[in-house]
Structure 1
Amino acid sequence: MKLDPFYLIVDSAAWIARLAPLGVKLVQLRIKEMDEQNLKAEIAEAKRICAGHDCQLVVNDHWRLAIETGCDFIHLGQEDLEEADLGAIRAAGMKLGISTHDGAELRTALAEKPEYVALGPVYPTILKKMKWAPQGLDRLADWRKRVGDVPLVAIGGLNPERLPGVFGAGADSAAVVTDITLNPDPEARTREWLAATEKWR
């Protein structure tokens, strides 16, 4: 499958409602702390918004709720991958994206035949404390060779100025969180990202 080069990651349906109308075509809903009832409602609302804007919704981690709400794309980290029922995910017809940080994780991910693999953090990131040092563009280029035809997502410390290097190293899509959500004008920053990734569409 072909991924949109601009991959937005946010933690609420409200963010999707704000930014999907600008032309975002690929968004991940990543919510860590929320009770199941409200989480299911958030996923359903995100799905509704995305459907109205021809935007692909990817649900992070919560694969059971994603199946229940009829979503078609799930993203799993390595720990989530160990615990998830991959048979149920595939039986539901869901597409799968997987995070990777080192060679062993990449082998584990590729064995599941995912729709994409993500590598990060490419650059230093303020989003969460990572046990991995920044991977850099050389590692991204190495991943490009290793994954073959599997789409490759770069994540971590990205901004529009760094996109030529990221795509030049072989990424198919660039994922972003804080460069947009912590920006004083998220809508304007989203438009910058859309313009900056247009040449790779």
Structure 2
Amino acid sequence: MPYPDRFYPVVDSVAWVARLALLGVGTIQLRAKELNDADALQIVRDALEVIKGTPARLVVNDYWRAAIAAGAKHLHLGQEDLAEADLKAIRNAGLTLGVSTHDDEELETALRVKPDYVALGPIFPTTLKSMRFAPQGIPKITEWKKRIGNIPLVAIGGIKLEHAAEIFKAGADSIAVVSDVTQNADPDARVRAWLQYQPEAA
């Protein structure tokens, strides 16, 4: 099974992780903000517990200490967290590592740590958080993919299922999805549609 899966939802609670895992989602990122160390450890442990017996793989966003302590297998870091993280401890714990990038400098920083995947965003305008970076646009996906070669490229930021064909055609290996699931009127149906989506052969 490729990692990360083509459909890669990002959610902020254990309830969402459980819901997605039961629907058959293969890669789920838990991105809960502003937690102290104890709460971070608890939420990671709880999330790992709810995916037991499912095919889901949990990716912990930012809380690398909690990921190591809880025995998680997958980690995602933004640039600020990457700068402060103990990369040796992360690798020694056997964690895979995905890294967010928004510009050329951040891509260089990411590639230096030999990531398991690189995320590029935001592809489109996003309402979820105020972004310091302008939308990248689809052509940037093709450029980034040429530069990173065999490393999987995850596109993120304002992407809906209706965009999937052009995103994959541009070179993305995976699409990270937030609001298209969590703010959808029928999230379960939307998840099933994503899971059933088959990119056209290039």
Q: Which amino acid aligns with 2:163?
A: R
1:197/1:83 CA distance change after superposition, 3 Å = farther
Q: Which has the higher contact order (CA 8 A, sep 6+)?
A: 1
- CA RMSD in angstroms comes to 1.4
Deviation at 1:35, TM superposition (A): 3.4
Deviation at 1:197, TM superposition (A): 4.6
In structure 2, what is the equivalent of residue 192 of structure 1?
193
Q: What's the secondary structure of 1:127's corresponding residue?
A: coil
Write the deviation string for residues 82-105 of structure 1: whole angstroms up to 9, x where unpaired.
Answer: 000001101111110000001111
In structure 1, what is the equivalent of residue 99 of structure 2?
98
Deviation at 1:198, TM superposition (A): 6.9
Deviation at 1:110, TM superposition (A): 0.6
Q: What's the secondary structure of 2:19's corresponding residue?
A: helix
Distance in 2 of aligned mates of 1:162 and 1:118: 17
Distance in 2 of aligned mates of 1:123 and 1:63: 28
1:141/1:162 CA distance change after superposition, 3 Å = same
Q: Which amino acid aligns with 2:194?
A: W
How many residue pairs are counted as aligned between the two chains? 200
Distance in 2 of aligned mates of 1:43 and 1:187: 23
1:197/1:177 CA distance change after superposition, 3 Å = farther
Q: Which amino acid aligns with 2:83?
A: E
Answer yes or no: is the 8 Å Cα contact 2:3–2:27 preserved in 1. Answer: no
Q: What's the secondary structure of 1:131's corresponding residue?
A: coil
Distance in 2 of aligned mates of 1:4 and 1:98: 16
In structure 1, what is the equivalent of residue 19 of structure 2?
18
Answer yes or no: is the 8 Å Cα contact 1:5–1:197 preserved in 2. Answer: no
Q: Which amino acid aligns with 1:195?
A: Q
Say whether residues 1:74 and 2:70 are aligned partners.
no
Segment of structure 1 superposing worse, 32-41 or 136-145: 32-41
Distance in 2 of aligned mates of 1:82 and 1:88: 14
Give TM-score scaled by structure 2 length. 0.95
Segment of structure 1 superposing worse, 33-42 or 157-166: 33-42
Query: After the TM superposition, which residues 68-147 of structure 1 pair with which residues of structure 2 at under 5 Å, given as runs?
Result: 68-147=69-148
Write the deviation string for residues 123-177 of structure 1: whole angstroms up to 9, x where unpaired.
Answer: 1111111111110111010001000110000000111110001000110100001
Distance in 2 of aligned mates of 1:199 and 1:69: 39
1:197/1:76 CA distance change after superposition, 3 Å = farther
Q: Which amino acid aligns with 2:58?
A: L
Q: Which amino acid aligns with 1:28?
A: Q
Return 5+ residue gaps in structure 1 as ranges: none
Q: What's the secondary structure of 1:51's corresponding residue?
A: coil
Query: After the TM superposition, which residues 175-190 of structure 1 pair with which residues of structure 2 at under 5 Å, given as runs?
Result: 175-190=176-191
Distance in 2 of aligned mates of 1:56 and 1:12: 15
In structure 1, what is the equivalent of residue 36 of structure 2?
35
Q: Which amino acid aligns with 1:62?
A: Y
Q: Which amino acid aligns with 2:186?
A: D
Distance in 2 of aligned mates of 1:12 and 1:74: 16
Return 5+ residue gaps in structure 2 as ranges: none
Answer yes or no: is the 8 Å Cα contact 1:57–1:71 preserved in 2. Answer: yes
In structure 2, what is the equivalent of residue 7 of structure 1?
8
Q: Which amino acid aligns with 2:12?
A: D
